[in-house]
Amino acid sequence: RVVNFSAGPSMLPLPVLEEVRGEIVDYRSTGMSMIEMSHRSGPYESVHHGAVTLIRELFAVPAEFEVLFIQGGATMQFGMVPMNLLTGSSAGAYVDTGAWATKAFGDAAHHGDVYEAWSGRDIGYTRVPEAAALSLRGDTRYVHITSNETIGGIQYRAWPDVAVPLVADMSSDLFSRSIPWELFDVVYGGVQKNLAPAGLALVFVRRSTLEHTQRNLASYFRYDVHASKSSMYNTPPVFPIYVLEKVLRWIRDCGGLSAMEAGANARADLLYRTIDESGGFYVNPVDAASRSSMNAVFRLSDRSLEPQFITAASERGMVGLKGHRSDGGCRASMYNAMPLAGVEALRQLMIDFKDAAG
Ligand X SMILES: *Cc1c(COP(=O)(O)O)cnc(C)c1O
What residues are annotated to the active site?
A: 100, 169, 193
Q: How far is the CB of 192 from ligand X (least distance, A)?
A: 6
Q: Of the ranges 164-172, 242-250, 325-333, 346-354, which one interacts with ligand X (CB under 6 A)?
A: 164-172
**Residue closer to ligand X, measured from CB, 187 or 300:** 187
Of the residues 140, 171, 194, 336, which one makes contact with ligand X according to CB under 6 A: 171
Beta-bridge partner residues of 317:
none
Of the residues 13, 112, 129, 190, which one makes contact with ligand X according to CB under 6 A: 190
**Residue closer to ligand X, measured from CB, 74 or 318:** 74
Q: How far is the CB of 172 from ligand X (least distance, A)?
A: 4
Beta-bridge partner residues of 300:
282
Q: How far is the CB of 81 from ligand X (least distance, A)?
A: 12
What is the size of the binding site for ligand X (CB under 6 A)?
A: 12
Of the residues 8, 112, 120, 236, which one makes contact with ligand X according to CB under 6 A: 8
Question: Binding to ligand X (CB under 6 A): which residues in 193-212?
Answer: 193
Distances (CA, A) of 167 to 62, 142, 157, 161, 255: 16, 6, 16, 12, 28
Q: Does 150 participate in binding ligand X (rule CB under 6 A)?
A: yes
CB half-sphere exposure, 314, CA atoms < 13 A = 10
- Determine the residue with CB nearest ligand X: 73
Q: Does 120 participate in binding ligand X (rule CB under 6 A)?
A: no
Q: x/- contact string, 76-115, with ligand X (CB under 6 A)?
A: ------------------------x---------------
**Residue closer to ligand X, measured from CB, 17 or 198:** 198
Q: How far is the CB of 249 from ligand X (least distance, A)?
A: 23
Q: Does 290 participate in binding ligand X (rule CB under 6 A)?
A: no
Q: From the CA atom positions of the chain, what is the Rg in Å?
A: 21
Q: Does 167 participate in binding ligand X (rule CB under 6 A)?
A: no
Q: Does 169 participate in binding ligand X (rule CB under 6 A)?
A: yes
Q: Does 306 participate in binding ligand X (rule CB under 6 A)?
A: no
Of the residues 34, 74, 243, 260, which one makes contact with ligand X according to CB under 6 A: 74
Distance, CA of 151 to CA of 295 (rounded, Å): 8
**Residue closer to ligand X, measured from CB, 8 or 263:** 8
Measured CA angle at 329 (ends 318, 335), to 5 deg: 50
Residues near ligand X (CB under 6 A): 8, 73-75, 100, 146, 150, 169, 171-172, 190, 193
